[in-house]
Chain A
Amino acid sequence: MRIEPRSKVSKTLIISVPILSSFAALLIAAIPISFAGANILQAYQEMFFGVFGSVFSFSEMLTRATPLIFTGLAAALAFRARLWNIGAEGQLYLGALLSVVVGTGYFDLPPLLLTPVIILCGAMAGAVGMAVPTFLKVRFGADEVVTTLLLNFVILIFIQMMLEGALKDPMGLGWPQSSPIVEEAMLPKLLPRMRVHSGLILAIVCAVFVHFMLSRTVWGFRVRAVGENAVAAKYAGIPVHRSLFMVAIFSGALAGLAGVSEVAGLKGYLTADLSPGFGYTGIVVAMLAGLSPLGVVLAAIFIASVFVGADSMSRAMGVSSYLADLVVALSLLSVLVGGFATRFRIVWSKRQPGDNG
């Protein structure tokens, strides 16, 4: 048995691998479910109907998917350039922070301008959040994986500091939360009595935009070239550092928009527990999507379904909702293994090392 690189990768294989991997992860989840002493089939049922059982639950899933599309795009774009942005979590919070700074009425702006300004400022804040580690990488050779990771912690502590100090809601009964965003500045809801909001539309628009930029423009060509072979790209005259910075800015901005979307679309104010790890989950979304911007939308919907379904199942059956995180982690590992299958294949030969011939 030998492993041989494939010379051609069929498109069907590329699309089916993430789908199969996702289902594999769901299947493997049966093990922890039974460890928790629950009935496996019932658990899957609860998970399924927890998402698809009603219009409301479906809309909840979409609401949950919205920030994941943003952070998934942030990761996918950066990873295409081989820029390891693990800091989406922090960049999200920076975007949320600026949303609150701008949107709580401190600046005297007409309501119609407020929403676009919030979006712009939030994106810029996220962009800065990724530009700094990228600068450290380009100038000092500091690995961006570690710097973005550590920066997440710094930013979160900073947010906590702001929430207990300068941004604290004077009418918040002492809780560390910000003042609410002005009603007129909030992103409009999409359906009455549901929480799903126009951040979702913005997210999908971003996905289409990123897809277009990557596959149809010179800019995207440069980004992909740098990611696939930076040495040859440099040799050919492509400005590697400039391309990396541009990717960093866009990637950070997208993550920042996740924060804007959660604050100005959903919650209305900022707390330190705004994100249950959307930034990190975005990485899994990106990998499941094969780093394809359009695929990110689908992958985000899958992951959001897992979370919402597991939540519902957890409430109904008492299984810890950490199961969702487990399924997400398993999805990442299995899509990684699946990716191997698209690039290599196993050849069965009768000869084994050790034969004398």
Chain B
Amino acid sequence: MIDILNILLSESFWAASLRIASPLIFGVLGALLCERAGVLNLGIEGIFVAGAMAGWMAVWLGAGLWGGVFFAMLAGAALGLIHGILTVPLGLSQHVSGLGVTLFATSLSYFVYRTSLPAVSSPPRIEPFRALDIPILSDLPFVGPVLFQQTALTWLALLLVAVIWYVMNRTPLGSALRAVGDNPDSVDAQGLSVYTLRIGAVVAGSSLMALGGAFLTMSAFDAFFFGMVNGRGWICIALVIFASWQPGKALLGAMLFGAFDALQVRLQTEVGALVPGQIFLMAPYILSILALVIAARRADYPRALLTPWFKGQR
């Protein structure tokens, strides 16, 4: 017990939690944007892979770290556009289109990577984002090392939570997005374009999802591994429901998850001999299922989620 308390009070634990949470923050915010507008985007897992690969590859080819961020977002936007066109004006199954995008994005990323870089014993590495050492603030006790030694991408994630919250709740665009996910007719009757709003939300959301992937190869690690995304996209889908489609709760959910993941890594070293390591590996997924089960009943689903809307059919 004392060990757990020690862990919970240590700076390195919370710093690690935030680091683990960062890709999830991007993913949950991205899924939130899509779903609030009424579109389920199951392409998230594949978009994570594409963002990871595109971002890394751009840096490898000399575009610089922020160039990598740009290309990752571009890849996400392109994939989002495919999903958006299939599901919004064509009204095809959001489930199948999303899974198709995941399969497409994953296989395309793997193919491009493998074709561009021959197989070697250890994958090539880039110079990733380094921890941002902000003078004075980083020296604050406890808060310093946790918050102020994260990379720029983590900062971007935290900033985006506030930005998305503001846009959704305080701007006309946010009103329109929330309305189109509840009753597309309300938006159409006021002269706005349902198609543009929904596709726009999906494209924007997908760019954020891609950033989640890019974080893995450009901040958390420095190389691209096959299978590195490992279900994080699906975990984000579960967390969005848990977060009731609200940015603040999304941050909370991601942090809780990150904390739990960081905890289990540390616990493993303590208890490793008694319990097989795989129990701890399973924990994140089981936790996500649990979160989903708890949240599902009381969830305030966007009313028009999964329902296609067609122009001129009244």
Which residues of A pack against B, CB within 8 Å?
A: 32, 35-36, 84, 86, 136, 140-143, 145-147, 149-151, 153-154, 157-158, 160-161, 164-165, 280, 283-284, 287, 319-320, 322-323, 325-326, 328-330, 332-333, 336-337, 339-340
Cα A111 to Cα B207 with chains together (Å): 57
B window 252-284: CB within 8 A of A: 276, 278-279, 281-282
| B281 CB contacts on chain A under 8 angstroms | 157
Task: Select from chain A the residue with minimum beta-carbon distance to B311.
Answer: A3
Q: A320-B114, A336-B92 known; A140 and B86 CB under 8 Å? A: no
Cα A154 to Cα B100 with chains together (Å): 23
Check if A86 sits within 8 Å of B237, measured CB to CB. Answer: no
Task: Select from chain B the residue with minimum beta-carbon distance to A152.
Answer: B231
Cα A84 to Cα B42 with chains together (Å): 12
| A142 CB contacts on chain B under 8 angstroms | 289, 292-293, 296
Check if B104 sits within 8 Å of A154, measured CB to CB. Answer: no
Which of B60-68, B105-113, B131-139, B179-187 lies at the interface? Answer: B105-113
| A337 CB contacts on chain B under 8 angstroms | 86, 90, 92
Check if B103 sits within 8 Å of A150, measured CB to CB. Answer: no
Cα A341 to Cα B74 with chains together (Å): 29
Check if A329 sits within 8 Å of B293, measured CB to CB. Answer: no
Cα A114 to Cα B73 with chains together (Å): 54
Check if B42 sits within 8 Å of A328, measured CB to CB. Answer: no
| B230 CB contacts on chain A under 8 angstroms | 153
- Nearest CB of chain B from residue A351's CB, rounded to whole Å: 13
- Nearest CB of chain A from residue B288's CB, rounded to whole Å: 5
Cα A63 to Cα B39 with chains together (Å): 39
B214: interface (CB < 8 Å): no
Cα A339 to Cα B91 with chains together (Å): 11
B285: interface (CB < 8 Å): yes
Which residues of B pack against A, CB within 8 Å?
A: 42, 82, 86, 90-93, 95-97, 99-101, 103-104, 106-108, 110-112, 114-115, 230-231, 234-235, 237-238, 241, 276, 278-279, 281-282, 285-286, 288-289, 292-293, 296-297, 299
Query: By DSSP majority rule, is chain B's interface helix, strand, loop, or mixed?
Result: helix
Check if B293 sits within 8 Å of A136, measured CB to CB. Answer: yes
Of B91, B231, B293, the residue contacting A153 (CB under 8 A) is B231
| B234 CB contacts on chain A under 8 angstroms | 146, 149-150
- Nearest CB of chain B from residue A187's CB, rounded to whole Å: 30
| B92 CB contacts on chain A under 8 angstroms | 336-337, 339-340
Check if B104 sits within 8 Å of A329, measured CB to CB. Answer: yes
Check if A325 sits within 8 Å of B96, measured CB to CB. Answer: no
Further contacts, 15 of them, CB under 8 A, given A143-B296, A320-B110, A326-B108: A32-B115, A143-B292, A145-B42, A145-B95, A146-B234, A150-B235, A150-B289, A284-B103, A322-B107, A325-B106, A326-B104, A326-B107, A329-B103, A333-B100, A336-B100
- Nearest CB of chain A from residue B12's CB, rounded to whole Å: 26
- Nearest CB of chain B from residue A255's CB, rounded to whole Å: 16
| B91 CB contacts on chain A under 8 angstroms | 340
Check if B285 sits within 8 Å of A329, measured CB to CB. Answer: no
Q: A333-B100, A336-B97 known; A323 and B111 CB under 8 Å? A: yes
| A330 CB contacts on chain B under 8 angstroms | 104
Would you mind naming 5 contact pairs between A and B with Cβ atoms under 8 Å apart? Answer: A145-B42, A146-B292, A150-B231, A157-B285, A320-B114
